[in-house]
Structure 1
Amino acid sequence: MRQVIEKLEESRIREVANEGLGREGVLKFWFGESDEVTPAFVREAAMASLQAGETFYAHNLGLPELREALAVYTDALHPGRGAPHWQPRLAVTSGGVNGLMLASQALLDAGDEAVAITPVWPNLLAQPRIMGARLRCVPLKVQEKGARAGAWVLDMDALLTAITPTTKLLILNAPNNPTGWTLDRAQQATILEHCRHTGTWILADEVYERLYFAGDTANGAASSFLDVAEPEDRLIVAHSFSKSFLMTGWRLGWLVLPAMLTPTMGKLIEFNTSCAPVFVQRAAQAALKRGDEITPALVNHLRVCRDTLVPLLLAIPGVTLAEPKGGMYAFFRLEGHPDCLDTAKRLVREAGLGLAPGSAFGQEASGWLRWCFASLDPARLVQGAERLRQWLDQQP
């Protein structure tokens, strides 16, 4: 086995989840998904496809009908060029994580340098390492004082210094899992212009683009690199049906990339998964067609969940937390509990509360915990916060 694979760390989130196996009554907030079932009309579209016998291979890049629908969707969020501009730049993938891995495979050779902004979802750090790339991390910094104490912010100078002509790829995720950190359009333009000068590709994980609460953009979504980039820029943007369309288990995503790279991506998909299942793509078509029945209601509900949980956590002594502007996570620090992995395991065993340890997302997040607040019933969040408070009260 390749040494780099042997050295990969197992998921610390899974490690905590395994602690809860067989335990009754654990409130589980460790994974990044809503506990709301995919809407019935999406499931029915998949069943209709299977009943129609659509059980064969599809185009590597995705069903033409789905790519057309994605082009319309993309142009609605990032208007100005028209849907026909986007369709040649789209590749359907077997999940967002598959799309991100495909991008790393397409761009990174062994020994190449990649830069990543952390804390971040651990898969984004593992993928360049799997390719044999040299990974440099630029950590966000915690704002310690003021109204936004606990917010994670980008040191732009540190990032631009880290990206040099030897940097093949910049990897970033905003809105960010786990911190809720977001980029504004001016910051994206600054990063893009710098990467143009250094010849660096940008891989932007924007799967939480629609899960945005700040309300400071015309379309209600977080600012995207697609709003500032030219079609030929060295930019790949990854999306997924998982979060905004309540389809985590369906494993379907897509990439927006320069048109000149699309045929190459089709070849790469052939040697990975060949294609996404047709019945899953039909479900995605239904989700896009009636997306206004899914995503806005989901965002409104997540706002209720966030506004339920965050004040309860802030009322607990020793908690540092800033209200997230995007995503589905409350990321908070517990004073006096620096070993977050041990804390997370103890919370499962002793309080029946399942959270993700911050160190899973980068060592700079040691002492922090991630709470996925995407709960169908906000009362579970109230119950969980009370369990945390009671557990802390019992500590010496």
Structure 2
Amino acid sequence: MSRFRLYPDAAEEEALLVHCGHARYVWNLACEQGSWWNPRRGPAPGYVEQNRQLTDARGDNPWLAAGSVIVQQQALRDYTTAMAHFFRGSRRRPSFRRRGRAEGFRIVAVKPADVRRVNGRWSQVRVPKVGWVRFRRSRPVPAARSYRVTQDRVGRWHVAFAAVPDPIPVPDTGGVVGVDRGVAVSAALSTGELLSCPGLRPKETERLRRLQRRFARSRRGSNRRARLRARIARVRTREADRRKDWVEKTSTDLARRFVLIRVEDLRIGAMTRSARGTPAAPGRNVAQKAGLNRGILAQGWGLLVRRVEQKAPGRVERVPAAFTSQRCFACGYVVAGSRESQARFCCVACGYQSNADVNAACNIAEGRR
């Protein structure tokens, strides 16, 4: 996906928000129908039946008919695709969308004439029932058959063209590298490099905490609460932008330097599951586990591996993560006592000493368990 920043005017932004509302409405209706399924009632209606129901709904509701049928039909197609991924086990079950979160819609069957260049810096894209919306052309616009318009939590608009970029060529020199992902050190390489994902600075973290405390004391539905929510979203978005920038640069560097990249096969969803439990069986150390989950998610583990696999297809191997941090790279002895701390590894058998994360990365590079 090649993403660019959109700059709509007031009228265009209002029309884009209408498209987002219609796509969200149709998606939520499809989710509601999908939740009806049970052995007695039979399967939920498929795309063809939902499309027929959409035609009837547009005839009964003028506000829905005033929107773009392309946007609404594509929302149904996206839901059908999401359910197919869920039944294959590769994605979670599609859930309801809330206003202000994951706002966007997709347009397919894009023609080359739907994107035009204005000058050396700006271009325009044609959006159904909106017109030509300008965007900042930070790089060449790829030839794509579809694009997606989104709005983030701070109100910025983006357009992403669905085009698969060319993979990074295999380097002439460079061998195998192991990547160990952690919390204190975001990524440790078997070459001895320690990479850290930039997060919020200390002053920004303290500011975020103050805003969150004020937000918790604010009255629901008040204007003050809405302003605080927007200020918190700006801080969170800044953190996410830094993480994505670091992931892009790190993944490109790994794909350009090494022929084969080995990473741990981690189940991040299971690792970051809440420990709250149930009222009948409450969990233990819930606050500590929540802090660990936030630390894991802030490092961008899954995004880093996903981007490396996209930039270096066929050159990424997943190694089982069991005992990679407890095995000595020098002699192969496995014992938990060899890892004296988070950062120091000292083998109790041969006396080999190294950074604990680098030792684990070396084991990953060798494909050891």
State the TM-score bracket (shorter-chain normalisation). under 0.3
Larger radius of gyration: 2
- State TM-score, norm by structure 1: 0.24
- State TM-score, norm by structure 2: 0.25
Q: Which has the higher contact order (CA 8 A, sep 6+)?
A: 1
